[in-house]
Amino acid sequence: MHPAPSVIFFSTFSGLGFGLLIWLGLGVPEVSGWSAFAFFAIAYLLAVGGLISSTFHLGHPERALKAFTQWKTSWLSREGWCAVAALVLMALYGAGLVFFGAKWTLLGLLGAFFSLATVFTTSMIYTQLKTIPRWHQPLTPFNFLSLSIAGGALLAGQVMWSIVLLVLSGVIQAATWVIGDKALASSGTDMASATQLGGIGKVRAFEPPHTGTNYLLREFVHVIGRKHSEKLRIIALGLMVVLPVILLLLPFNHIIAVVAVLAHVAGVLTARWLFFAEAEHVVGLYYGKR
């Protein structure tokens, strides 16, 4: 698929924001007053900023509210409801910590649950798509969830948890790529099934369906070279896992912590770009692009 910046920013920053809210809802770190305000401000800027950026990819952003009406069948709608529930509950929980020095544990746990559910429902928007075999696999939700929780731990200043979870998220990311590389071939979808002409013989592309481009080619067919893909994967893992872990193993100071966070964010952005660039929508078979 064509990697739209708005969707890349959304999946990266909202994941980090809700990941931090998960930890805050669990009472980690134990903060109150202005310290709590700083943590909640960072979490909300990331989560809400990511959600807002996603609306720029909609054909009609003014109709975004209609998505809330389809919660029975749409993962996008479920994501919206979970996000609203998480933000409202965590706002109340945060208000207790900031203004009253009170820890309303039940609100925090509920907020953490809906924050986790928001990341899960976001991942299911992609996982459910059978037309993109690379996404339609069990590891996609784990990929989103592990990066969100690991990034949240990093932002929450939990050094040991960050190291463990970053390594785990890196392993899951690598496994997602390995399985994803074989997904289209193992799905049984090819040009014959895409064109429904397999019954009359072997199918091959003689010439493109049309001479110009169209919406499908612009939005769903993006071809990235294997060499470029491999380089970007190494860069992504190096920035989002290896470099932060090395920095976290050094004696702690705030400058190192900031560099670790920035490196992780840059790495996740790279991985998310690859997530969309390598999508391999089956419609590309019809155009002879796969």
- How buried is 138 (Cβ within 10 angstroms: 0-12 exposed, 13-18 middle, 19+ buried)? exposed
Sequence-distant (≥ 6) Cβ neighbours of residue 232 within 8 angstroms: 270, 273, 274
- How many other CB atoms sit within 10 Å of the CB of residue 197? 12
**From its phi and psi, is residue 260 left (phi > 0), alpha (psi between -120 and 50) or beta?**
alpha
Mean pLDDT over 247-251 rounds to 96
The pTM score is: 0.92
What distance in Å separates the CA atoms of residue 208 and residue 152, rounded to the nearest whole number?
Answer: 46
pLDDT in tens, 231-241: 999 999 999 99
What span, in angstroms and rounded, lies between the C-alpha atoms of 212 and 217?
10
pLDDT at 227 over 90: no
Contacts of residue 15, Cβ cutoff 8 Å, sequence gap at least 6: 50, 119, 122, 144, 147, 148, 151, 268
pLDDT confidence of 284, banded at 50, 70, 90? confident
